[in-house]
Amino acid sequence: MASLDLINIHKSFGATQVLHDISIGMADGEFLVLVGPSGCGKSTLMNIIAGLEEPSGGLVRLGDKDITHAGPADRNISMVFQSYALYPNMTVAKNIEFPLQMRKVDSSIRAERVQSVAKLLQIEHLLERRPRQLSGGQRQRVAIGRALAREPQLYLFDEPLSNLDAQLRLDMRTEIKKLHQRLGSTIVYVTHDQIEAMTLATRIAVMKGGVMQQLGTPHEVYNRPANLFVAGFMGSPRMNLVRARLTANGDVLSLEIQAGDRRRVAIALPPQPAALKAYVGQDVIAGIRAEAIFMANGEAVPEGKSHVVDARIEVIEPTGADTLVVLNLGGHEFTARLEPDLVLNQGQEGKFVIDLSKLVCFDPATEKLIA
């Protein structure tokens, strides 16, 4: 196991720049997830780590060794591919053995390693089969097994779950997390699925258009998104984002929301960071997560930390575990995640509580978090 440092990585194909100055430092044992929409450069970045592509500029360091220009075979990095990339002409055992064989590991050690990996992943009964005789989940296990057998310093996972059906995907996600906890290995994992990113990562790098938008723990990325893109991309349902006017009444700041024929809503805020004061009299983009909006149940709400508003229920979407409700609040649509047992009617007017400790504000011009 080892640490990985990406220092000022650039990559361009001809005139198009696909990676802009990416720097990430990973400690030993970290699970880093690169997440972003397709075309954001996350796979290119992974290929650069793997040595399958050369960066146009910057350094890749594994442990304390500079591997920027080392070939993929000389890096001691294993990769699990999206299509599993199992060699169709070899049995499962041969597939797992292949990287060891290529590295001229002694045959008795190879056999031992194949056995221990197969046991770990519970694929012992599949060792003599060929890849085409396996199901998707089994292939996935074999691909992981092949990566494990070599005991590399770093593992790369390139969207390993996206070819599996929904249920299996959840199971394998848990398996991968368990594996990481058990082996303490350093892992870089690429996905476009923000839930996978949240559940697996010790840190997440959100990317868009070849630029790293934010690097942080899942908690940071979810609760303090660095900009509007991250706020909208991470979390399902999306964070509610609305343009609001910031006003000041003495020391108390308020957000005013109004659109269409609905009554204007003013939300008095708890004490805010000094940076926000500079926006008094101007518009900001306010963001609030769906789970930070509750239905008022008549109990007194702690003033300052939260705020009661009137809103109309437009759409009700029960998911079983909870019910998503689209509210009309001051003419804007907000999604709220409510208790599943509430009796709700479409068109119903009601009082809702907003937990203001979860509120974030963004600059409408730069789209950056105001902190």
Partner 1 sequence: MADKKPLAAGRFALYAVLVFLALLFLMPVYVMAVNSLKPLEEIRNGNLLALPQLWTSEPWATAWSTAQIGVQPTGLKPYFINSFLIVIPAVVLSALIGALNGYILTQFKFRGANALFAAMLFSVFIPYQVVLIPMAKTLGFLGLAGTISGLVFVNVIYGIGFTTLFFRNYYAAFPQELVRSARMDGAGFFGVLLRILLPSSGPMIVVTVIWQFTNIWNEFLFGASFSDFSSFPLTVALNNLVNSSTGVKEYNVHFAGAFIAAIPTLVVYMVSGKYFVRGLMAGSVKG
Residues that bind partner 1 (CB under 8 A): 50-52, 71-73, 75, 77-79, 81-83, 85, 87-89, 98-99, 102-103, 130-132, 146, 150
Q: Which is nearer to partner 1, 79 or 293 (CB)?
A: 79
Cβ atoms 284, 242 nearer than 8 A: no
Q: How far is the CB of 23 from partner 1 (least distance, A)?
A: 24
DSSP characters for 149-165? HT--SEEEEESTTTTS-
Instruction: For residue 317, list its beta bridge partners.
Output: 324
Q: Which is nearer to partner 1, 106 or 251 (CB)?
A: 106
**If you ran DSSP here, which 8-state letter would residue 363 be given?**
-
- Listed residue (93, 152, 134) closest to 117, CA to CA: 93
Q: How far is the CB of 218 from partner 1 (least distance, A)?
A: 28
- Joined tokens for residue 320: 């079983």
Q: How far is the CB of 58 from partner 1 (least distance, A)?
A: 20
Q: Which is nearer to partner 1, 162 or 199 (CB)?
A: 162
Q: Which is nearer to partner 1, 73 or 248 (CB)?
A: 73
Q: How far is the CB of 140 from partner 1 (least distance, A)?
A: 14
Q: How far is the CB of 161 from partner 1 (least distance, A)?
A: 15
Q: How far is the CB of 2 from partner 1 (least distance, A)?
A: 16
CA distance 148 to 77: 10
Cβ atoms 311, 338 nearer than 8 A: no
Q: How far is the CB of 100 from partner 1 (least distance, A)?
A: 9
Cβ atoms 45, 30 nearer than 8 A: no
Q: Which is nearer to partner 1, 163 or 258 (CB)?
A: 163
List Cβ neighbours of 138 (8 Å cut-off, separation of 6 or more): 123, 126
- Joined tokens for residue 122: 């519970």
| Helix, strand, coil distribution of the chain in percent, nearest 5 | 30, 35, 35
Q: How far is the CB of 272 from partner 1 (least distance, A)?
A: 50
Q: Which is nearer to partner 1, 75 or 173 (CB)?
A: 75
Cβ atoms 240, 289 nearer than 8 A: yes
Order of all β-strands in the sheet with 323-329 = 293-295, 349-355, 306-318, 323-329, 332-338
Q: Which is nearer to partner 1, 71 or 347 (CB)?
A: 71
Q: Which is nearer to partner 1, 129 or 238 (CB)?
A: 129
